[in-house]
Amino acid sequence: MEGFSKFINGIADFFQTKIDFLNLKELSPAIYIAVAGALLVFVAFVIALIARGAGKTAKYRKFLDDTTAYINAVGTIDENNVEGLNARIQQMPRGVSKGWGVFLEQQDGYPSNYITEKEGVGDRKTVKKAGRVFYSLASAIVILLCIGLAAIACKSDIAAVTVGDPAMATATILKVVLPVLGTLVLPLLIYFVFLAILNASYQSQYNKLCASFRAFQDAMDEAVIIFREEEDEFVTENIEEINAAIEEILANANRNVELIDIVTTPKIDTEEVAPVTETVPEPEPEITPEPEPAPEPEPEPEPVPEPAPAETVTAAVAEDIDDEARKRGELMLDLVDIAQRASMDKSMTSDQLFELAEYLYSVKVSGDFDTEGEQEVFDLCLTLLANSATLADKL
C-alpha cells in the first residue's frame, strides 16, 4: 500500500513540476492531460478506420465487385461454364448460396428473385462493427484515465481543502473541479465528433456494399440465360390463345354440321321423293270407268314414310362431318404439341427448327386447312418455332 502511495505521489509531482513546459502554472496538469486524452481518442479513431477498411464488409464488397467483373467478362453463363460462378457463390454468405441453389433447382425466373438484397447484405447493417466497438471502448478508457490523472495531479490541492471556509471552497473549485471537468469535457467532445464521422463512414460503406450487390444481381440476371426458359414463358403467355383457337375450330366444325343438316335434307328429299312423284300421280286408272284399278295405288303410299331414310342419311353425313371435324381438331392439337416440344427441345438446332417451320408453312398454304381458326393455329406454331430458333442462334 505504501508503494502504491509513493507511485501516486510520484505521478502528482511529475504533473505539477516536470510537465509544465509551456509554463501554464496552475492550469498545467489539466491542460496537458486533456490534450493528451484528446490525442489518444484520435488515435483510437484512426485505428477504428483501419479496422473498418480491413473488415469483413469491405472484403465482401471487393469479392462482389470481382464476381461481377467475372460475370461481365464471361458474357453468358450456361450449363457449360456455370461451375466458375457456382464456385464463387459458394464462398458468399449462406443466404446467397442457398438462394442460388434454389434457383438452380427451379430453373425459372431470374436469379435475383431468389437471391434478394435482404439475404445478401441485410444483416450487415445491424451487426456490431469491430472498429466501432474498439473505438468506443478505447475512448472510454482514455477518458476515465484522464479524469484519474487529473485528480492525482490535484492531490495536494484536494488535501488542503478546509471545510467551512468560503475562500478555500472557491479556490478548490478553481484548482480542482474545473481542471478535472476540463480533462473530461475535451476528450469526450472529441469522442462524439469522431464517433459521428465513424458512423457516417460505416453507413457509406454499407451503401456502397448495397450498390455492389445490386450490380451483382443485374449482372447475373443479364448473363445467366440458360436457366431462363423463354420459350416456356412464351407458351405460358399464349396457351390460352392457342386453346381458344382450337376450341373455335371445333365450334365452327359443329356449326358447319348443323348447316349441312339443314341444307342437305331437302336435297335428299328431292332425290328420294322423285320416284314417288312419278308413281303416285298415275291417273290412268281413274280415266277409265272401271273402278277396279283404284285400289292398286294403295300399296304405293309406302314411300310416304321415306323421311326415315333421309334422316338416316343426314345423320350419317353429320356423323362423318363430326368425325372429320374431330380429326382436324386433333390434328391441330398434335401440331401445337409438336411445335411446342420442338421449341423446348434444347438439342434442336436452328436449321432443324426452320426446316420444320417450312414444312408447317407448306401445309398451311396447301389449301387443306383454310379456315380462319386453323390458319391461326399454324401461325402460332410458326411463331413458337421462330422464337425458339432465334434463341438457339443466341446460345
What is the mean predicted confidence (pLDDT) over 90-117?
84
**CA Rg, the chain, in Å?**
49
Instruction: Locate 190 and state its grid cell.
Output: 472529441
Q: Are 204 and 52 in contact (CB under 8 A)?
A: no
The reported pTM is: 0.47
pLDDT recorded at residue 259: 38
What is the mean predicted confidence (pLDDT) over 271-289?
45
* pLDDT top residue among 316 and 133: 133
pLDDT recorded at residue 246: 62
Q: Which of 250, 241, 254 is nearest to 376 (CA)?
A: 241
Q: How far is CA 255 from CA 262, 292, 314, in A?
A: 11, 53, 15
* pLDDT top residue among 162 and 41: 41
What is the mean predicted confidence (pLDDT) over 269-297?
46
Reported as a single tens digit per residue, the pLDDT across 223-262 is: 887 654 444 444 445 556 666 666 666 566 555 544 344 3
Residue 271 — pLDDT band, cuts 50, 70, 90?
Answer: very low
Q: Show me where the domains of the chain are located.
A: 1-227, 230-394
Question: For the ranges 16-30, 126-140, 172-186, which has the lowest average pLDDT?
Answer: 16-30
Query: Has residue 8 got a pLDDT over 70?
Result: no
Question: For the ranges 33-37, 44-48, 201-205, 283-287, which has the lowest average pLDDT?
Answer: 283-287
Q: Which of 125, 121, 101, 126 is nearest to 111 (CA)?
A: 101
pLDDT recorded at residue 153: 66
What is the mean predicted confidence (pLDDT) over 289-298?
48
What is the mean predicted confidence (pLDDT) over 42-61?
85
pLDDT recorded at residue 360: 82
Q: What is the DSSP letter of 268?
A: H
63 by DSSP, 3-state: which? helix
pLDDT recorded at residue 162: 52
Residue 42 — pLDDT band, cuts 50, 70, 90?
Answer: very high
State how far the Cα of 76 lies from the Cα of 134, in Å rounded to an integer. Answer: 45
Query: What phi and psi, each to the nearest 5 degrees, are found at residue 224?
Result: -85, 90
What is the mean predicted confidence (pLDDT) over 161-171?
55
| C-alpha angle 278-282-284 in degrees, rounded to nearest 5 | 145
pLDDT recorded at residue 12: 54
Instruction: Locate 360 and state its grid cell.
Output: 408447317
Q: Are 369 and 335 in contact (CB under 8 A)?
A: no
What is the mean predicted confidence (pLDDT) over 179-207?
85
Instruction: Locate 288 and state its grid cell.
Output: 277409265
pLDDT recorded at residue 116: 83
- What is the residue-averaged pLDDT of the chain? 71
pLDDT recorded at residue 172: 58
Query: Has residue 327 got a pLDDT over 50?
Result: yes
Query: Has residue 152 got a pLDDT over 60?
Result: yes
Query: Has residue 283 got a pLDDT over 60?
Result: no
For the stretch 72-96, what's the b/e string if a residue is b when 16 or more beta carbons lie within 10 angstroms of its beta carbon? Answer: eeeeebeeeebeebeebbeebbebb
Looking at the chain, the whole-number percentage of residues with pLDDT higher than 70 is 57
What is the mean predicted confidence (pLDDT) over 166-193?
71
Query: Has residue 325 got a pLDDT over 50?
Result: yes
Query: Has residue 47 got a pLDDT over 80?
Result: yes
Q: Which of 27, 31, 33, 26 is nearest to 11 (CA)?
A: 33
pLDDT recorded at residue 3: 52
